[in-house]
Structure 1
């Protein structure tokens, strides 16, 4: 069998990989980084996700990737009437995934997690297609814990995560960073956002769905923040506020795609949630960050663990959502700005290696062919 980078004989059909993962941008980001790499190596990439999730929108931006929607239910940790209906949606999704995988005959399935991935992993297992899972957070999410028994290997970003993976399946690969993020232009970022050179830019990201708590804190403190910074605020779908449209040095957008590398390049600091994919991308770009992780009331606490790991490494300031007062926010941001050079120096000492190449080799070795 050819290795991960060997050219394919002209008379041999391309190896096919089925990607899955969704529910939020964080469950798609790694796939977005790996798909072009594997396509360059001769793989035929297809994707399976929900019919209306953000994964469908994001994958539509890639070239030559067919998308197959399936039924899915959300894995909730709270009481909701939909919990009665969702097991039936998941069962329907398993049948759809099984039937489609049987038709597509992929050589391997790569799952990034999220509730949509569970039917796909089960459908692959029923078709005897090898499955590789990726877990970005320090502790595995519920979907990946369910899928783990049906997987060959589980790729992990944090070394500490291996202790939470049963069966000796964990492979520490490190963070996956989209190649296009490393090619941003600060000049283009300033030009696109119509901001001026010479005054530092603060980039605010609340995740693909936005964060009302962070959005409100930013807007309440604009008079103080704009004394030091120009701001680019990615506030999430439906979270634009026209009352602030004419504030000097403040730009707000629901979400950006192609412009993100340039906006990151022109930014001095980042205020963000603590999703693993995002914070490792900020680390790769040497962007000191103020992290405001989702609280345990709104999540399983994975972002709190991610943020604490980065705080111990000296890459960020952390402010818990329960402590998000105007005074605490401005104080934490002030400390980060004062220490930004020291933070960047610690970031430069981190050697990430080649995680994407490691995963590509692992995928090739797990392939049925």
Structure 2
């Protein structure tokens, strides 16, 4: 695909405000698009988010000026905090409006999450064109609200349900972008980072940025049997969050030396994730939007355990499972014996794993970061 038409030759940089965050699923596409915009053209980026989310750290890592606003969590149910959050949202709209008047952006790129809503609404009142992107297979409440104020709604998957938008709002399917660096991993780099026997299949267990207690407990119970067949990198979440890392390290230290070298519990992963994906025989994890996008784009077979009560994760997982790229185990049915049986059946069948890889690649839209950049630049430069 030729993207030269969207390079926007100009004496002034394209000024883009990113709005969104809270979780990694809303942050990763923002980073991927920021990297692609910078590759293409002279661009001035700003990020508006909350003080408590992960987006501030991401903006700092990307050298993007970060501006904080107050905001409230959007809920579909009544809760004690609803009143205070209802007060914070209009305050956040006023604060976002003040920031936008100071920055004077050409366009707003929203990646959703409740923190994006005040900036999107303020942008609409200020006459600034806006594109909002939905990462999951189920429309989030923030996207449903943002769609009423945006010029373009970008979806990751087709057929995501009815969207109530303004008459002139365009709806398009772009896919969910991943950072280019994620696809550049090398197995030899992983072996240099982790002392893993190279002849073994590799399982990558991930509960997302915060970890998943149910996954951690089940893997810990199944560890003796799993390690007979594979090496494991286990991203279990921060010790300060769920307290599991220290427990899993103690469990590893009690293993026989031949097994100990096969098990690597870590709190989080960053730059090494690309090398893990390049080496993984199978991923065992939650079904967050970012994880599912990465599995599809990289063609990695998976066993997914959607977060209970999170309909969007159930639908995300179905995107892969429906084409044969993943096996879903509901958390209520997750046991150590079920996990061991599922893993053994997969890693003992190279033919089936290859079919799962091909199937995963089949559901990944091509060039999602480029498609989003095209739409953002076109929106910013429209007459």
Q: Shorter-chain TM-score: which interval?
A: over 0.9
Partner residue, 2:68: 69
Q: CA RMSD in A?
A: 1.7
Residues matched between the structures, number: 360
Note the C-alpha offset of 1:349.
Answer: 4.8
When structure 1 is superposed on structure 2, of 188-197 and 113-122 the one drifting more is 188-197
Partner residue, 1:165: 163
Distance 1:331 1:125 in 2: 53
Superposition pairs of residues 1-369 of structure 1, within 5 angstroms: 3-8=5-10, 12-40=11-39, 41-63=41-63, 65-161=64-160, 163-167=161-165, 169-238=170-239, 239-240=244-245, 241=247, 242-246=249-253, 247=255, 248=260, 249-296=262-309, 299=310, 301-337=311-347, 338=349, 339-349=352-362, 352-367=365-380
Distance 1:142 1:351 in 2: 24
Question: With structure 2 as the length reference, what TM-score do the two structures score?
Answer: 0.90
Distance 1:344 1:139 in 2: 24
Question: With structure 1 as the length reference, what TM-score do the two structures score?
Answer: 0.93
Note the C-alpha offset of 1:335.
Answer: 3.4
- Deviations, residues 275-322 of structure 1 (Å, cap 9, x unaligned): 1221121122121000111112xx3x0111111221111111111111
* Contact 2:45 2:65 (8 Å CA) reproduced: yes
Any unmatched runs of 5+ in structure 2? none
Structure 2 vs 1, CA of residues 154 and 311 (structure 1 numbering), >3 Å: closer, same or farther?
same
Note the C-alpha offset of 1:356.
Answer: 1.5
* Contact 2:296 2:320 (8 Å CA) reproduced: no
Distance 1:154 1:43 in 2: 22
Note the C-alpha offset of 1:233.
Answer: 0.7
Distance 1:227 1:316 in 2: 23
* Contact 2:136 2:156 (8 Å CA) reproduced: yes
Structure 2 vs 1, CA of residues 132 and 351 (structure 1 numbering), >3 Å: closer, same or farther?
closer
Note the C-alpha offset of 1:127.
Answer: 1.0
